[in-house]
Structure 1
Amino acid sequence: MTVVTTYPNLTREPVDGDAMTTATESAPRAPLSLVKEQPQPIEGAVVEHQGEALRPTLIESGTELTIRAREHVAENRLYVGWTVRGYRNLVSQWLEARRDDHPQMILSAKAELKAAAGDTDAESSARKLLEARREAYKLHKRWHWIKTGAWGAATTTGVTTAVVVGGGWVDVLLSLGAYAVGAWHGRPGAGELLADKTSGLIVLEAGAEDPFPIADANTRDEAAECVRRALVSEGINVASVEAGRRYAWGWEVTVRLKKGTPADLIAKAPELETPLDLPTDGLLCQPMRQKRAQVVLRLVEGDPFEDMPALPVRKPNSLAMRDKALIAKRMDGQPTSLSFLGVHFVAIASSGGGKSVTLRTIGDVLTACEDVVVVDLDPGGNGLEPLAAAVGVRVVGADQMHVIEAVLEKLLKIAKARKTLVGKLGMGDNWIPSPRYPAIVALIDEYPQLSQHAKALVVAILRVGRGARVQIGLAAQEATKDAIGAAIADSIALKIVGPSRHQDIVQVFGAGAGANGWRPDRLHPAQGEDPADAGKVYIMGGGSTDPLIHKVIPASPEEGKQRADERAAAGRPWFDEESLAAADVSFDDLDEVRPHVRLPEVVELARAAFTAADDPQRMTTEELYEYVASAAPESWGPREDEEAEAARRRYLKELRDTAAVIAPTVDMKTKQWAGGRGYYLSTITELAGEEAPESG
């Protein structure tokens, strides 16, 4: 029996500046890449069973068995009743197969026709459905009679031939066979088994205001009513619901709240997925910035990214840094194109979230630019391995930390030197990338694995490098304070976050972002062979202002290598001589850099604080500790029930005690000056065993 679910009160409506391109004269330069035991059975012929002694059937006498068999036959009257019931069951089966589900389907169509009274389009559709189901029933009955006739003719022919040719014994055997078939189909319980054609599924009729699945909505009015009922069932006070565009993956619906806040609705999103019958994390909510009472709901029933475009073919030196390049597809079908001119960026995604794929896609864009030198730094992996041939400088591996630090030091010097060069070269306020004077982009994967000194250098570059077009692209698996400090989050304009943790939202997107619909924590990283949401990201910046899901267009390692080889053969830009000379640096001596003895953490953090601040002449202890607590919160941030001031004093005491051991001649008393008290740069550099650089 089929149970039809109806939804009352639903009506049906029809759905309604140029880059400089001076060619370099020098030859293409090769990139630098440096159980208990079982109880024994009870023996004997008598077994206790519910207090009564019973003897097993095997030791019953022959007389007893004969008596029992005779009683059984007499009781069942030679199974005549079984045989009659069996053939009656077979006739019922034949009739049931003749009807099948067609009568019920016709009744359902009649119900729809009755419900559509007054709606011309719906009534016409229901009438056509009724006629189609009647014709299907006629055709089914016709074929049922044809099959019955064919089987009947074959059986009759066979039996008649056997009776005529075989003689009396065949007649007896056929009669006994027919008798046995009937008895078998009429045995106790067989009728019930044969007659049970139900599905085992029970669906309750929906009440006048009960929610129903969004998949049952065919028109905009039905979709709006579906969402309204779901919201009311969860206690959301709704003023109006308007269904907008329907996509291949689901519906977009705008809700206006009568009272309350969008955050109340967003907090209810997981509960709303049940009455709407959506997949887990299939309800996305976006409050409208212009109207606080309005929230856009996206009901995702399927995958918005089933039809992904291919990664565009980018020929060598076919792009300029200012050009917008396709890197992803947005869930509403729009392309995601970004320009990286003067933009620092960060990519956050859990393991299996597609972070490395995102970096590789961005690297494909940058290595196709005629005016960009790409620097690949990765202390924990293989970096941009497929694109290695088109990378300018490449340093990977945890044992190469000293070289990574050296590269970052050189990039910082170049960024500072270019401040004086922009005027001399007539570029105005900011460096203008060209093949002759290329921009520099350092892509740093596994950023949390950098040393404290390297992290401080990155922070310094972020602060001074944008105008000089010495840019940073960071990637990490999480965005905790010790991984991506507040200074970094404040300095980065383009933020790309894939499957991640809830706390990463605040650290990267800012306080309140989750309540405004930025929820990458509801994306799921790949698990085994299941890709889940790997490669799906939220993008803030670069022209993207709405919390919509994007999916990065991947570049396979093989494809990346082929492209990189072509670009290397065509020639890639190199650091301009003017910048190298003004910064007094060279990248030809990286193989000469030797590892150095690491400083105690307290000292390294103090030195890193000055480096991150661009080596000012002095820093107050408050400024110094602010960086330390952000860079190493687990070690030096306030402990449970500890005030920040007490934590600061604890750190400073440890700094002095350590200095007394490693450099007892260094005066670690704090100095007083107008407006503050702290340490001079010269004191900290002496403690670190290096010469003080020129003040920033």
Structure 2
Amino acid sequence: MSLDQHPDFPAGWDLSKVIPGELEVPDDLSGEDVDDIAPGIVATYEPRVPVLAKAGGASMVALSRTARFTGLSVRYFSIGMKAVSFLGWRYVRAHDLQEVIGGMAKSSDWNKVKQERHSRWRFLGWTGGVTAGLNLAGWIALAEGTSLDAVGLSTAIPPTVTGLAAGVGITLYGRYRDQRPDIAPQMMIAEQDNPDSDEPYPLAVCQSPGQVEECISRAFAWEGIGTRSVRVLGYRGWGWEIDVVLKGATPGKVNAVADQLDSHFGIGTGGTLIEPDLDDNSHVTLRLVQTDPFADMPRPAVHAPNSLSVRDAVVYGRCMDGSSLELRLRGMFMLIIGSSGSAKTKGALRSLAEVITACRDAIAIEMDPVKDGIREFSEVMALPPIRGGKECTEKLRWMRDIASGRNQVKSAKEMGDLWEPTPEDPAIFGIVDEFIFLPQEAKDLAIEIIRIGRETGVYLIFAAQEATQDSLGDAIASAVTYRVMLASRSEDIPLVLGKGASAMGYRPDRLRPAVDDERVYDAGKFYMAGPGFDRPVLWRWNRFERDQIRQAVREREQAGRPWFDHASLAAADLLHVIRRDGQAGEVSLADRLEALDAQGGVDDARTVAFLLRTFGEKPFLPTTEELLPALGEAGFELDATSLAQVLRKHAPAVASTRQEWDGKQVRGWSRGAVEQAAAGLIDPAKARLRAA
């Protein structure tokens, strides 16, 4: 019998799980045992739980619940009985009074304790008498008002009820103490449940928003800070966010006792964060951090080669409230301060360099006068790694000259008020780590770049471990666009973020730098001030692994990176100084003149450059025999008179001379005369001064 011949199977059967087959019945069954042939019938049954199984399950559930209730009741009763016995003993012995008076060192102390003991025994006697009276009244009521025998059941009911009430009370008290493990043996109730207590208690014992509000009110009151209202805004996953209205206090006073508040709340160092309301100085938002707000921060992905622009808003990290840290590179001057282990280089600078080197319209130069900086990006930097104070000074001078020269280029290309970055005319970013070790000349150059670079697309990003007045340099902190402080010293805060920043809640001094790869603590977390960043909240940089950066650098190197634009180098007289391989070549006058000619707007530069190359190392060349034929072959239409006019136009004092050439006296020009004309082209002011 084939299964396919019987389509009357239940709907919904998965026939793929039925083993296909066919029951074959021979035509001649004479030699077969018919009883051994299985019938070809399929019988289906609806799945169900047997009635006895259901009854057994309900019984077991009832039994288990009863057993659990009984076990917990016995446990709670034992805990309560133990606590009541201990507290009762302390009560009758007046131990609490002895603790208040600091022991019994004098006879008067003994007398006070003795009197208190007698008073308490009298109170217990009166309490016992009242209880016995109530039981007696209950017995009389039962005997007179009911049909119960006066000597039988009515006699047992009052004391039994009293005993049950006491047992229930002791059991409930035992349950209360079991759920409040922080209660000391000598305490009757927890501090958070005592309305008459002002003693602070840890945040961890709070089980409701109301207890959190009471916890904060007590901690503030303990530190002498009055509050008009305390209202929980919610639990944020990392901790509590609370709205507080102060009474007779300022946000600065709250920040001054932040360390003590950490202790009252029982949270980690730096866990108490305060954000004042700029419109109401009595209003603050309090954040109590119990766990790392960035624990669930995903690993960032690197950007594709040349996929970004300096105009794009790019994510560099995250805020503790979950919002993204978005910044635009265009117009960015940034100062980053962070102690060793704060992730200043591997967090902040690496994140910034990752974005800059992914931009199709930006190039970067990386400098470090004392360490090795972010060398992992060296293959995609515009110049090889720059190390040492002298070399850093030279490259900052180049950047200053480019920033200055770009004003002419910007006008010539009709860009408008600001430099318009493109792949052909990229923005330039100088990343300077450990800038406090730069020579003073380099710091002065950096200040010049800050003052003129914004309009010409030349920017600087500074990083250092500290920000003392002498090392910070004049006006650097106040002139940059963004100021970032990772784990830092308290004395650095007013220099970087301004006076009063600590009172406003900016406390990078309470962040803990990393010790090693396992104890990272607050590495990468920071406070930030700048346009759009006026709140003292914690941020965290993206953390890229070195393997990610290596792979990204290889891909970007293969895809190709933009480089210095020709016009800017020419305007800065650096066209043949800055080379793609980073090596500064020997610059000739002819090179510089050709750069001027490429820039445009300078007459005769190409002519004089050609003359210099024609001279080579020769001190003298005749006009008719050498110079004019060479100029004609190169396409210059000049005769002896016009050649003299060109040279005297830029060096009025020069003149042709007669010298011997091939055995005869001929008129010509010396190389020195042509060099003077070249100098006049490069710096006309000096040429006029020399002529005068």
Equivalent residue, structure 2, for 1:682: none
Q: Specify whether residues 403 and 268 from structure 1 end up closer, same or farther in structure 2 by C-alpha distance, changes over 3 A only.
A: closer
Partner of 2:469: 481
Structure 2 residue matching 1:293: 3-state secondary structure: strand
For 2:211 and 2:536, locate their aligned partners in 1 and report how far apart those are by CA, in whole Å. 26
Is the aligned partner of 1:347 residue 2:314? no
Give me the whole-angstrom Cα distance separating, in 2, the residues matched to 1:497 and 1:394.
28
Q: Which residue among 392, 414, 420 is the counterpart of 1:426?
A: 414
CA distance in structure 1 between the partners assigned to 2:583 and 2:182 by the alignment: 74
Q: Which amino acid aligns with 1:368?
A: A
* Alignment match, 1:279: 268
Relative to 1, partners in 2 of residues 1:221 and 1:468: Cα closer, same or farther, differing over 3 Å? same
CA contact (8 A) 1:461 1:470 kept: yes
TM-superposed CA distance for 1:220, in Å, is: 2.7
Higher-RCO chain (CA-CA 8 Å, sequence separation at least 6): 1
- Post-superposition Cα deviations, 1:611-641, rounded to whole Å, max 9, x if no partner, equal xxxxxxxxxxxxxxxxxxxxxxxxxxxxxxx
- Which one of the candidate residues 326, 338, 354 is aligned to 1:337? 326
Residues 237/215 of structure 1: CA separation in 2 closer, same or farther (3 Å cut): same
| Pairing partner for 2:507 from 519, 534, 543 | 519
Structure 1 counterpart of 2:633: none
Partners of 2:434 and 2:320 lie apart in 1 by 28
The verdict on how the C-alpha distance between 1:409 and 1:109 changes in structure 2, with shifts beyond 3 A counting, is farther
Moved more, 255-264 or 563-572: 255-264
Distance 1:107 1:426, change over 3 A: farther
Look up the match of 1:501. Answer: 489
Distance 1:107 1:432 in 2: 80
2:243 & 2:224 partners in 1: Cα distance? Answer: 17
For 1:467 and 1:506, locate their aligned partners in 2 and report how far apart those are by CA, in whole Å.
Answer: 28
1:450 maps to 438
In structure 2, how many angstroms separate the alpha carbons of the residues matched to 1:305 and 1:554? 11
Q: Which aligned pairs between 1:657-672 and structure 2 lie closer than 5 A?
A: none
Partner of 2:372: 382
The 2-side partners of 1:523 and 1:574 are apart by 39
**Correspondences of 1:156-195 after superposition (within 5 Å):** none
Measure the CA separation in 1 of the matches of 2:266 and 2:79: 23
Flag structure 2 segments of 5+ consecutive residues without an equivalent. 1-68, 82-167, 176-180, 587-684
Checking the alignment, whether the CA contact within 8 Å between 1:486 and 1:507 is kept in structure 2 is: no
Residues in 2 aligned to 1:466 and 1:108: alpha-carbon distance in whole angstroms: 73
Aligned residue for 2:532?
A: 543
Q: Which runs of 5+ in 1 are unaligned?
A: 1-97, 111-129, 138-197, 595-690
SS in structure 2 at match of 1:329 = strand
Going from structure 1 to structure 2, the CA distance change for 1:335 and 1:441 (only over 3 Å counts) comes to same
CA separation in 1, counterparts of 2:433 and 2:186?
53
1:491 positional shift:
0.9
On the 8 A contact 2:375/2:385 being kept in 1, the answer is no
Q: Cα gap change, 1:578/1:227 in structure 2, threshold over 3 Å: closer, same or farther?
A: same
Task: State which of 242, 249, 272 in structure 1 corresponds to 2:238.
Answer: 249
2:212 to 207, 223, 226: 223
Q: Residue 101 of structure 1: CA displacement?
A: 7.1
Q: Deviations over 1:81-136 (max 9, x none)?
A: xxxxxxxxxxxxxxxxx9987634479999xxxxxxxxxxxxxxxxxxx9xx99xx
Distance 1:202 1:282, change over 3 A: farther
Give CA deviations for 1:535-582 in whole Å, capped at 9, x if unaligned.
Answer: 111111252221111111111112111101101111111111111111
For 2:428, the equivalent position in structure 1 comes to 440
- Deviation of the 1:514 alpha carbon: 0.6
Q: Indicate which of 345, 357, 366 corresponds to 1:367.
A: 357
Deviation at 1:326, TM superposition (A): 1.2
Give 1:286 deviation, angstroms: 1.5
| Cα deviations by residue, 1:466-512 (Å, 9 ceiling, x for unpaired) | 11110000010001112212410111111111000001101100111
Separation in structure 1 between the aligned mates of residue 547 and residue 230 of structure 2, nearest angstrom: 49
Q: Is the 8 A contact 2:447 2:474 kept in 1?
A: no
What SS does the aligned partner of 1:465 have?
Answer: helix
Structure 2 residue aligned with 1:233: 222
Q: Which residue type is aligned with residue 314 of structure 2? A: A
SS at match of 1:563: helix
**CA distance in structure 1 between the partners assigned to 2:287 and 2:300 by the alignment:** 27
Conserved 8 A contact 2:262-2:271: yes
Q: Is the 8 A contact 2:302 2:354 kept in 1?
A: no
Which one-letter code corresponds to 1:264 in the other structure?
K
**Aligned partners of 1:394 and 1:355: how far apart in 2?**
21
> Equivalent residue for 1:651?
none
Q: Per the alignment, do residues 109 and 317 of structure 1 end up closer, same or farther by CA in structure 2, a change over 3 Å counting? A: farther
Contact 1:402 1:593 in 2 (8 A): no
Q: Write the letter of the residue equivalent to 2:209.
A: R
1:234–1:427 CA distance, 2 compared to 1 (3 A): same
Distance 1:286 1:486, change over 3 A: farther
Deviations along 1:277-333, whole A, 9 cap, x unmatched? 222221111211011110111101111111112213310011000111111111111
CA contact (8 A) 1:524 1:532 kept: yes
Among residues 82, 103, 106, which one is paired with 2:74 in the alignment? 103
Residues 75-154 of structure 1: pairs in structure 2 closer than 5 A: 103-105=74-76
Residues 572-581 or 217-226, more deviating: 217-226
TM superposition shift of 1:216:
2.5
**Is the partner of 1:442 in helix, strand or coil?**
strand
Q: CA deviation digits over 1:1-56, x for unaligned, max 9?
A: xxxxxxxxxxxxxxxxxxxxxxxxxxxxxxxxxxxxxxxxxxxxxxxxxxxxxxxx
Provide Cα deviations, 1:210-238, integer angstroms capped at 9, x if missing partner: 33222233333332222112111221111
Aligned to 1:677: none
What TM-score comes out, normalization by structure 2 length? Answer: 0.57
Residue 381 of structure 1 contacts residue 396 of structure 1 at CA under 8 Å; is this kept in 2?
Answer: no
Aligned equivalents of 1:199, 1:348: Cα separation in 2: 42
Distance in 2, Cα, partners of 1:221 & 1:340:
46
Whole-Å Cα distance in 2 between the matches of residues 414 and 211 of structure 1? 62
1:591 aligned residue (553, 576, 583): 583
Distance 1:292 1:389, change over 3 A: same
Identify if the C-alpha distance between structure 1 residues 211 and 403 changes in structure 2 by more than 3 Å, giving closer, same or farther: closer
Q: 2: CA distance between counterparts of 1:555 and 1:291?
A: 40
Q: Secondary structure at the match of 1:462?
A: helix
Q: CA 1:241–1:403 in 2, change beyond 3 Å: closer, same or farther? A: same
Partner of 1:269: 258
Structure 1 residue 395, shift from structure 2 partner: 3.0
Amino acid corresponding to residue 387 of structure 2 in structure 1: G
Distance (Å, rounded) in 2 between the aligned partners of 1:570 and 1:523: 40
What is the aligned partner in structure 2 of residue 289 from structure 1? 278
Percent of matched pairs sharing the same residue: 35
Of 360, 363, 385 in structure 2, the residue corresponding to residue 395 of structure 1 is: 385
Partner of 2:46: none
For 1:464, give the aligned amino acid. I
CA distance in 2, matches of 1:280, 1:100: 42
Amino acid aligned to 2:473: G
2:394 paired residue among 406, 418, 429: 406
**TM-score in terms of structure 1 length:** 0.56
Distance 1:203 1:580 in 2: 81
Whole-angstrom distance in 2 between the partners of 1:347 and 1:489: 10
Q: Report the AA paired with residue 371 of structure 2.
A: G
